[in-house]
Amino acid sequence: MKNKIKLMKHKVSNAKRIVNLLEKDVVKTLGMGLKANYPKITKKFEESWLKKQIKNYTKKKPNEFSLAITLDNKIIGSMGSGTIDYENNSTEIGYWIGKEYWGKGYGTKALNLFIKELNKKHKLKRIVARSATFNPGSYKILEKCGFKLEGTQKKVIKGKTKYHDLFVYSKIQ
């Protein structure tokens, strides 16, 4: 079946593909005017991050949870939760997809799958996501997946010439 979106556990061998997608597409495109306080994305950096994610798969209560987004078994992005607050059953999520895969509904499909997986494993009550106000592709995915806009954080991201705002969305379950 063509155009099949799945979420899969990360593997260290995915590092090169992820670095290529991030460097080529995501950082350059979404870095529009941003200062980019991200660490340099290298294969070594990504391998270290992937090992941490893989270790989390074995924990009953991991502090974060991440999966690869695949299209016909080829990695096109990643989706994950930050620190999971087990006391309050909440987390903040984030995601990215390589630019050539934007606008095709893959992010929406992947996020719906990820929410199901999070709920199956962690029984969350509240999921939060933030999106730059200049990135409608990202916040429209949230809206399509049932997230509601809670507000705007002003001047959160330092750009090259100005600060940018973030929309804050949540999904209460």
Query: Residue 20 is part of a domain; what is its CATH number?
Result: 3.40.630.30
Q: How far apart are the first and last CA of the chain?
A: 32
Domain membership of residue 148 (yes or no) is no
| pLDDT digits (tens), the chain, 173 positions | 588 999 999 898 888 888 777 776 555 445 444 445 555 667 777 778 788 888 888 888 888 889 999 999 999 999 999 889 999 999 999 998 988 899 999 999 999 999 999 988 888 999 999 998 988 999 999 999 999 999 999 998 877 788 889 999 999 98
Domain membership of residue 146 (yes or no) is no
Render 70-108 in DSSP notation, one character per residue.
EETTEEEEEEEE-S-BTTTTEEEEEEEE-GGGTTSSHHH
- Per-residue tokens: 18: 């992820």
Nearest to 7 by CA among 90, 116, 84: 116
pLDDT at residue 44, as a whole number:
79
Domain membership of residue 170 (yes or no) is no
pLDDT at residue 39, as a whole number:
58
pLDDT at residue 33, as a whole number:
44
SS3 157: strand
Domain membership of residue 173 (yes or no) is no
- Per-residue tokens: 111: 């996020």
What is the Cα–Cα distance from 7 to 136, expressed in whole angstroms? 23
pLDDT at residue 27, as a whole number:
54
pLDDT at residue 49, as a whole number:
77
- Return the bridge partners of 93, or none: 81, 129
Instruction: Please give the residue range of the domain that contains residue 33.
Output: 5-123
Domain membership of residue 44 (yes or no) is yes
SS3 24: helix
Domain membership of residue 166 (yes or no) is no
What is the Cα–Cα distance from 41 to 25, expressed in whole angstroms? 12
What is the Cα–Cα distance from 173 to 170, expressed in whole angstroms? 10
* CB-neighbour burial class of residue 58 (10 A; exposed 0-12, middle 13-18, buried 19+): exposed
Indicate the number of domains in the chain.
Answer: 1
Report the predicted TM-score, pTM, of the whole model to 2 decimal places.
0.86
